[in-house]
Structure 1
Amino acid sequence: MSTETRPSRQGRLRPRWYLELAVIGAFYGIYSWVRNQFGSAAVSPSEAQANAELVIDWERSIGLYFERDLQDLFIGWVSFIQFWNLFYGLFHFAVTAITLIWLYYRFPRHYPFWRTTGLLTTGSALVGFALFPLMPPRLLSVGGTYGGDLPDTGYVDTVADLGGLWSFTSGAAEQLSNQYAAMPSLHFAWSLWCFLALRKHLTNPVAKWSLAAYPWLTLFAIVVTANHYWIDAVGGLGALGVGWAAAKGYHRLRDRR
């Protein structure tokens, strides 16, 4: 194939950008609305707390309840924690969006599959939010409208107490967010999605190692900020598996037709 024909063929493979933007925007808007009908909008704090106690008891039973100990190791390092608050609030969207855009322009043949995988992963998370509303560690002892009444668990809501881009428990964010959308963790699912979507396309060693580290850094961020239990990341892995399998089946059927 000559260099003159390659761009035009790439262009024919690439979906129209405005349609993609409309579909993704509409999907995420509907997803956000549905997500927020469950959890804190319809579930009492006592039910979300009871689910949290089940998670904690299970993690203790296998000797892997370490979330508070991990936070305690770093909570005195304010600047460090503020960075992870920023990481938690910003990278989740920014890296995912950059991955989508890069695939769209550089690898249009692979873009539709990974776009579909991401959308179906996100949609599948609604099942977890609806069936298992889960109070995150940062809310276990704070009381109030959405918080729990467990004896002091020692967790710090790092965004509220140490600073970040915004707080999920004040202002408009409190009213618009599902406070109990912890299981599964889409932060982890999307970070692993980014790794899988780009891993074959990077050649620079620094970029490859950074990409490989990104899901693990995300896991650290969601735990050290007390927004998730580590088991929520396992749920995110399951959601990604469902999204990947469903996208595989859909694109295989579409290709046959």
Structure 2
Amino acid sequence: MGDATVTTREGPEEAVPHSVAERTGPGLLRRLRTPRRPRLWFEILLIAVSYWTYSLIRNAVPEQRAEALSNADWLWRLEHSLGIAVEESVNHAINGVTWLIVGMNYYYATLHFVVTLAVLVWLYRRHSGRYAATRLVLFATTGVALVGYYLYPLAPPRLMTNTGFIDTVLAHDTWGSMASGDLKNMSNQYAAMPSMHIGWSVWSGLTIFALARTPWVKVLGLLYPAATLVVIVATANHFWLDAVGGLICLAFGYGVARLWYGALPYRLPRVVPARTGAVAPGAGARPAPVPAEEENEPVPARTSPGP
């Protein structure tokens, strides 16, 4: 058969053959790096398995008590030399207000999970195009934190010896920490650096601030990590510098997402079209739209040349 031709208004035009690669779309790597509509069953399974794995690895890190206490003493001396060693004063001051410290104990034990999951659900429902990239930030942040727990065991202030820190959960007989009371054997007590209470709360706060439209909701997004910082110090679960470690891990998480997707999560399209399931920048150009006045314009009939 001869070469295929396409008739246009300007005349016959030779058809350009398309390669198999062009017909099959972008490659595997490009598809993986393209924002896609999340699938509910997959996300529930992924989050459940990821948290189980995180807890398993975190608790499998050897509880190096002597090294963890030594590191805590060194960190406490460092904060004194920097003039920021106010954790003990905050711990004692807030412990004197029973209703407040009991509330902080429950805050520490619950909101860490509740708010993070709520933000993930909100992203899934309202910002499907940004969901995967923002989730990657959270997962990368948590993953690198596991390395910190292994390389730098650290006792929280409440477990230090020869100091005046108060374990507020034990003092007020409240359920407020997996590392106190009857639950202490279920969690690694010497995994205080970095603080994922700060890593996750700042992730939640930044996401709310960047994507929420209501001003007071944006303000709440900023207040949440600030309140979390006060709570982790008042309950003697972390030093200030543990919070700095959490921020460093979070910065790593944003860096991973930026490299993988080519943009910060909040700059990606809000919604991925349901028809295609994914949008790959530059994956293929759509034909130019025909102007309305030309769309219904009849095409002149072709006439054969005269004798």
Q: TM-score, normalised by structure 1?
A: 0.85
Contact kept? 2:209, 2:219, Cα under 8 Å: no
Please name the residue that 2:181 is paired with: 170
Instruction: Give the one of 164, 168, 182 matched to 2:192.
Output: 182
SS of the residue 2:128 aligns to: coil
Q: Which amino acid in the other structure matches residue 14 of structure 1?
A: R
Residues 13 and 127 of structure 1, relative CA distance in 2, 3 Å threshold: closer
Q: Which residue of 1 aligns with 2:250?
A: 240
SS in 2 for 1:109: helix
Helix, strand or coil at the partner of 1:200: helix
Q: Label 1:156 to 1:39 Cα distance change in 2 as closer, same or farther (>3 A).
A: farther
CA separation in 1, counterparts of 2:62 and 2:201? 23
Q: For 1:76 and 1:31, locate their aligned partners in 2 and report how far apart those are by CA, in whole Å.
A: 35
Instruction: Tell me if structure 1 keeps the 8 A contact 2:209–2:217.
Output: no
* C-alpha deviation, 1:250, in angstroms: 2.1
Taking a change above 3 Å as real, the CA distance of residues 101 and 154 of structure 1, as seen in their structure-2 partners, is same
Distance 2:137 2:222 in 1: 19
What secondary structure sits across from 1:110 in the alignment? helix
Deviation at 1:112, TM superposition (A): 0.7
Equivalent residues of 2:87, 2:234 under 8 A apart: yes
Contact 1:52 1:136 in 2 (8 A): yes
Structure 2 counterpart of 1:98, from 118, 134, 141: 118
The equivalent residue for 2:99 is: 79
The letter for the 1-side match of 2:180 is T
Alignment of 1:23 onto 2:33: no
Higher mean displacement: 156-165 or 176-185: 156-165
**1:252, CA displacement in angstroms?**
3.3
Q: How does 1:129-148 map to 2 (within 5 A)?
A: 129-140=149-160
**CA shift digits 1:58-96 (9 cap, x unpaired):** 101111111001112221111110011111111100000
CA spacing shift, 1:16–1:156, aligned 2, 3 Å? same
One-letter amino acid of the counterpart of residue 111, structure 1: Y
Task: Return the alpha-carbon distance in structure 1 between the equivalents of residues 258 and 227 of structure 2.
Answer: 28
Aligned with 2:90 (options 52, 56, 70) = 70
Give the drift of 1:38.
Answer: 1.2
1:126 paired with 2:146, answer yes
Give the corresponding residue for 2:73. Answer: 53
Consecutive unaligned residues in structure 2, runs of 5 or more: 1-34, 264-279, 284-307
Max Rg structure:
2
Aligned residues: 232
Matched, 1:116 2:139: no
For 2:203, the aligned partner's letter is: W
**Paired-residue identity, %:** 39
Q: Which residue of 1 aligns with 2:241?
A: 231
Q: 1:183 is paired with a residue of what secondary structure?
A: coil
- Structure 1, residues 7-64: CA drift from partner, whole Å, max 9, x if none? xxxxx95211110111111111111111111142xx1x21110000110011011111
Q: Corresponding residue for 2:203? A: 193
Kept in 2: contact 1:71–1:225 (CA 8 A): yes
Which 4+ runs in 1 deviate beyond 3 A?
A: none
Distance of 1:86 and 1:205 partners within structure 2: 27
Superposition RMSD on alpha carbons, in Å?
A: 1.9
CA distance in 1, matches of 2:261, 2:48: 21
Letter in 2 for 1:160: L
Q: Secondary structure at the match of 1:135?
A: coil
Check whether the contact 1:118–1:243 (CA below 8 A) recurs between aligned residues: yes
